Amino acid sequence: MTAAPQLERRRAGSARRRVLDTATRLFYAEGIRAVGIDRIIAEAGVAKATFYHHFPAKDDLVRTYVEEQSRLQRDHFARMPRAEPREALLTVFARIGEAGGDPHFRGCVFLNAAAEYPDAGHPVRRAVDDHRRWFHGLLAGLLEAGGDPDAARTADILVALRDGLVVGAHLDDPHRVRALIGDAVTRVLDGPRPTGRPGGAIP
């Protein structure tokens, strides 16, 4: 009596997964606005009604795509081996450099999405901002654990550095950019600390 409903649920889950996997591949390679729903439906091999059952509008799919990419990054960094705060920060940026050197690298998922959704109140943009607040918090936590007296402000600087690195890896020679990372992070960590200025998550 339960086999048929269970099979139906698996099929539904599989269809949603195919849609999301297809959208992820196309959005990242070609841009979100450039890829239409009909193409996603065709390449995912699902019926239009099935697509709209899972994603009532394209923006719902885009938001889910951004949120999943954020979750994957959070899981990735959560699995990092335990290390001293400074070493952990260097490892975080080293992994960003590794991603930038991938031949399929097309820039930062979140910066790309933000460029296509400039309205700060849009659900997609809010998903991007939520990811950036998480990343800022990750850095600030490591900095505070390492004794930085102005961890939030230093995290602001490191987020800005990270943004520059991923853009540079996309536009310039990624290997040259990757070679700069250790020196850049070290200079930020060892540089003078401005005081009396507010720090916080960069939106």
State the CATH number of the domain containing residue 180.
Answer: 1.10.357.10
pLDDT of res. 192: 74
pTM given for the model: 0.86
Largest CA-CA distance found in the chain, in angstroms, rounded: 69
Is residue 130 domain-shared with residue 35, that is, in the same domain? no
Please state the rounded mean pLDDT for residues 37-50: 97
Is residue 86 domain-shared with residue 17, that is, in the same domain? no
Query: Rounded distance, CA 167 to CA 112, Å?
Result: 10
- pLDDT tens for residues 54-109? 999 999 999 999 999 999 999 999 998 889 999 999 999 999 999 988 888 999 99
pLDDT of res. 174: 85
Which positions ≥6 away from 86 have C-beta within 8 Å? 146, 189
Per-residue pLDDT for 5 more than 90?
A: no
Distances (CA, A) of 96 to 37, 74, 90, 166, 183: 31, 13, 10, 7, 14
Which CATH number is 44's domain given? Answer: 1.10.10
Per-residue pLDDT for 27 more than 70?
A: yes
Domain span holding position 65? 58-203
pLDDT of res. 12: 52
For the chain, the C-alpha Rg in angstroms (whole number) is: 20
Is residue 3 domain-shared with residue 66, that is, in the same domain? no
Count of structural domains, the chain: 2
Distances (CA, A) of 169 to 30, 45, 54, 100, 154: 17, 34, 35, 5, 22
Is residue 98 domain-shared with residue 84, that is, in the same domain? yes
Q: Kindly give the residue spans of alpha helices, DSSP state H, lying in the chain.
A: 3-30, 37-44, 48-54, 58-78, 85-100, 109-116, 123-145, 151-171, 174-190
pLDDT of res. 2: 43
Nearest to 202 by CA among 142, 150, 117, 136: 136
Work out the pLDDT band at 11, boundaries 50, 70, 90: low
Joined together, the tokens standing for residue 46 give 């699902």
